[in-house]
Amino acid sequence: MIEVVERFLLCPWAARSRLDGQVAECVFQQESSEDFAPSLARISELAALPAIEIALFIYPCLGLSRLDFEHFARRLRAFDHDRHAIGGVPFALAVFHPDATPQLEDAERLIPFLRRSPYPTLQLVRTAALERVRGDEVEGTAFLDLEAHGAAAWANAPAPLSLRERIAQRNLAAVLEEGVENVEAVITAIHADRDATDARLARPKRA
């Protein structure tokens, strides 16, 4: 969070959220990707703590590939959604994983590289906080009265970029300005520290 996300300004709210005590870090020691109960229980606990707007669910013992971990996240998201009424889900989930290569030809394809956490990690962001940031914006959609604004004028107008798209494009520009090799060097150093920590704990080295 500090050495990559905040250092390279990849998220405009990361530093303030951390300094304001709005971030919770939760480590799960499970080795099975079929056990969702601990994660669901922790989501419920955090939902009752309005001061927490961001949570990091860290799974150091889940030796899953990025695609398999994304599948785990989708299943957890589905189980959590089933517990709430429409519009009542407390947190949105994003996947962070150690494995990804930089793809500089497209801002969206660069995202997995910038989310190369030391261990498989889920970032939970309170949906109410997202709504405050977006204001009237809805991801990928703009609610407009075309008749009131002139349908002809809007028919050929480019769709406005979503918040996610704007951040992704800004992050691509930041990486290009910094130099992807410099960003990758920082991430590599963090992963080397992870490997040293795993060795001290006698944890099997990652492939």
Query: Rounded to whole angstroms, how far apart are CA atoms 77 and 94?
Result: 10
**Whole-angstrom distance between the N-terminal and C-terminal Cα of the chain?**
24
The pLDDT value recorded for residue 144 is: 36
Q: 138 φ, ψ to 5°?
A: -120, 135
Q: Which tokens sit at 172?
A: 């691509």
C-beta separation of 194 from 119 below 8 A: yes
The tens-digit pLDDT sequence of the chain (207 residues) is 999 999 998 888 889 999 999 999 999 999 999 999 999 999 999 999 999 999 999 999 999 999 999 999 999 999 999 999 988 999 999 999 999 999 999 999 999 999 999 999 999 999 998 888 766 444 443 333 334 434 444 345 556 778 788 889 999 999 999 999 999 999 999 999 999 998 998 866 665
Measured torsion, CA atoms of residues 97, 98, 101, 104, in degrees rounded to the nearest 10 = 60
